Structure 1
Amino acid sequence: MNKDLLLSKLWEQYKKITPSAKKIHALLEQSGEKIENDHIAIRTYNDERVNIAVLEKPFVKAGYVAKGEYFFESKKLYAKHYEHVTDATAPRIFISELELEKCSEDLQKSVTVLLDTCDQSVFEKEDLVLSGAVWSSNSYDTYLSLLEESEYAAWMYVYGFRANHFTINVNVLTNFKNLEELNAYLKENNWKMNGSGGEIKGTPEQLLEQSSTLADLCMINFNEEAKEIPSCYYEFALRYPMENGELYQGFIAASADKIFESTDVKLQSIN
């Protein structure tokens, strides 16, 4: 699958459960903005059948190379980011995985059973990253059990393999001088922002500032009953030039740690 088709399919899948993304697009385009994507984030477990080494394959095949790695100790996550070799305008890809060996035995067992009960051939598919929840389990009790220990694990259980968020490149916007102005504009139009660690994560000195909306709520038909839970969110990134004049291309782990919380159920209840 070529790069453009892969990215297009990820976007189509993402916006089906993130209607706010389409609305924010329309809002900004109405004010004359042209939207460019800074990066796409994807989640997974570090089981060898579905880990980063597996999910990176279609991106590597489409011309991406690994550029940086990141550790999130409190959330038990490891991540890598990728950039396209020849297309500087292509969005970066950020893939994270839950380090199962650092989780409780109960959570490890839940994920192993989840993957064991799948048709194992599904993990060989080139488009696994577009496959959503490939397991048959759809229990609200299981979701709550995972949620108690790891919001990340619970989100993966429900939504599976897909883009967790897309990110608007704030550098190319013309009507907003900084992230504060963009955030204020979004709040004026009734969007709720992720305030964990402050609305803006990162600083100009760190060469990257980020903010994000709180995740949309999506009605999920669990076996027990239908429940509304957080799905995906929209992020905004402003990059600053390094000493050589080129824009910083990587990520700040401390900032990304708080961005992850855009899907957190607790933040939804606070707002």
Structure 2
Amino acid sequence: MHTQIESLFAGLWEDYLTITPSAMQIHKLIQAEDEQANIVNDHIALRTFALPGMRVTDLAEHFVQLGYRQAGEYDFSSKKLNAFHYEHSDENQPKVFISELRVDELSARAQAIIHNLTKTLPSDLAQQTDFLYSGTHWAISYEDYTQLLAESEYAAWLAAWGFRANHFTVSINHLQKITELTQMNALLQDHGFVLNQSGGVIKGGEDVCLAQSATMADHALVKFSDLEKNIPSCFYEFAQRYPLNNGKLYHGFVAASADKIFESTNVN
């Protein structure tokens, strides 16, 4: 089972690297500080549309079959998103955070664009082995992308990039010489990485048992149906978890912090 989990995350990671080259630069930066650094992935995040055949539960099934279970539910009303996170009984396995856009809450124009993109997809698409890192299955014009962008950054990102890991996350708890998120952030900023400032560089903290920071997304080339354009792709997150009253590390997520982390892929 663990071999299957490793294989799935390897596929997600390799796809992620193709449009997030800064991730390997960050790995090298961490290892330059600590040659023995054990870089552990705390969690990944996936995005999807709340439409038949591609809802959170459809994506999550790939993980459920490998022993994951739903462990948290979140509502991001301003962004029109539902989200859930999944954990494995083996706490060494990465957590999975999956969100979905409530398409029916968008304008008629935005809904029409999204339905046009997804209307011809096979009903069993989400069941394909490599679905979670298969990218887009449609062609979208830059005009439609900008139309979505004006209403929902999330919708525009998903329409342009499709199904893939939106970010991976370095677990600060597993590093040796970098023991605080503040140290990680200082290292990144000293080397020119731009961090997400929304809600502060550090979202959350010890009081909510989870502190998070993230780079702003890399930019990568998208071939729209009418032109090519560099747009925000994926980002890298950094998480430090703190113990609950029972002494065990908190494994959940903080909605107020996650709301700001989403903005790491914002265009402006």
TM-score, normalised relative to structure 1? 0.94
Q: Take 2:123 and 2:241, find their aligned partners in 1: how far apart are those partners? A: 41
Query: Unmatched 5+ residue regions in structure 2?
Result: none
Alpha-carbon offset, residue 164 of structure 1: 0.2
Q: Take 1:203 and 1:154, find their aligned partners in 2: how far apart are those partners? A: 30
Report if the CA contact (8 A) 2:53-2:125 is conserved. Answer: no
TM-score, normalised relative to structure 2? 0.95
Q: Could you tell me which residue of structure 2 aligns to residue 104 of structure 1?
A: 107
Alpha-carbon offset, residue 106 of structure 1: 1.6
Q: Could you tell me which residue of structure 2 aligns to residue 118 of structure 1?
A: 121
Alpha-carbon offset, residue 88 of structure 1: 1.3
The amino acid that maps onto 1:90 is Q
1:206-258 CA-partner distances (Å, limit 9, x unpaired): 11000000000001122222211000000000000000000000000000000
Report if the CA contact (8 A) 1:57-1:126 is conserved. Answer: no
Partner of residue 93 from structure 1, selected from 93, 96, 101: 96
Alpha-carbon offset, residue 121 of structure 1: 4.3
Q: Take 1:221 and 1:100, find their aligned partners in 2: how far apart are those partners? A: 24
Q: Take 2:30 and 2:257, find their aligned partners in 1: how far apart are those partners? A: 25
Structure 1 position 16 matched with structure 2 position 53: no
Q: What pairs up with 1:50-65 in 2 under 5 angstroms?
A: 50-65=54-69
Q: Take 1:63 and 1:30, find their aligned partners in 2: how far apart are those partners? A: 35
Structure 1 position 47 matched with structure 2 position 51: yes
Q: Could you tell me which residue of structure 1 aligns to residue 199 of structure 2?
A: 197
Say what the alpha-carbon RMSD is for the aligned residues: 1.3
Q: Could you tell me which residue of structure 1 aligns to residue 251 of structure 2?
A: 249
Q: Could you tell me which residue of structure 1 aligns to residue 143 of structure 2?
A: 141
1:104-163 CA-partner distances (Å, limit 9, x unpaired): 12222221121113344434424321211012x231111101101000000001111110
The amino acid that maps onto 1:65 is R
Q: Which moved more, 1:42-51 or 1:1-10?
A: 1-10
Alpha-carbon offset, residue 80 of structure 1: 0.5
Q: Could you tell me which residue of structure 1 aligns to residue 265 of structure 2?
A: 263
Query: Unmatched 5+ residue regions in structure 1?
Result: 267-271
Q: Take 1:123 and 1:213, find their aligned partners in 2: how far apart are those partners? A: 29
